[in-house]
Structure 1
Amino acid sequence: MTAVATRWTVDVDREACIGTGVCAGAAPRQIEIRDGKAAALAPQTDPDDAVIDAADMCPMSAITVRDAASGVLLAPEE
């Protein structure tokens, strides 16, 4: 039996984003600032606490992290 690797989706609401850059500083492997707003570097990523921190730190709650398989919201905390 093969183990299924867990993946997370990272979505940025660029309309809500105000471009503080806190997220890119917290998770530079997953998020960058592009044209003054946050953008995910890839639609999915390996699990990484840094991307959870980035979503939790966003003052506009513009970043969501979900389990790719189940769609369960992992961050930000509600």
Structure 2
Amino acid sequence: MGDRWHVEVDRGVCIGSGMCVNLAPGAFALDTARQSHPAAPDLDANEKVLEAAEGCPVEAIRITMPAGGETVFPPDD
């Protein structure tokens, strides 16, 4: 993919399932309240990060392009 992505987790929506941590180890972590957060706000674009966003049971993960802000996930309907 070669790009960078800006990754955010909506902590008001996150239920702490840990699916993102399991699907993209190193890209996400759970804090002491079991709330997910990205390891860094901007990550290398990769299939595991996208898979984690797609696998989030409450769709709490949003991925955008840092330059321009185009949405990568969730897709615009």
Same fold (TM over 0.5): yes
1:18 equivalent to 2:12? Answer: no
Instruction: Return the TM-score normalized by structure 2.
Output: 0.87
Instruction: Check whether the contact 1:8–1:66 (CA below 8 A) recurs between aligned residues.
Output: yes
Query: How does 1:39-50 map onto structure 2 within 5 Å?
Result: 39-50=37-48
Superposed CA offset, 1:31-67 (max 9, x none): 0111211111101011111111111111111001111
Count of residues paired in the alignment: 74
Q: Which runs of 5+ in 2 are unaligned?
A: none
- Per the alignment, residue 54 of structure 2 pairs with 56
Structure possessing the higher radius of gyration over alpha carbons: 1
Structure 1: 4+ residue segments shifted above 6 A: none
Identity %: 35
* Unaligned residue ranges in structure 1 (runs of 5+): none
Task: Give the alignment's Cα RMSD to 1 decimal.
Answer: 1.3
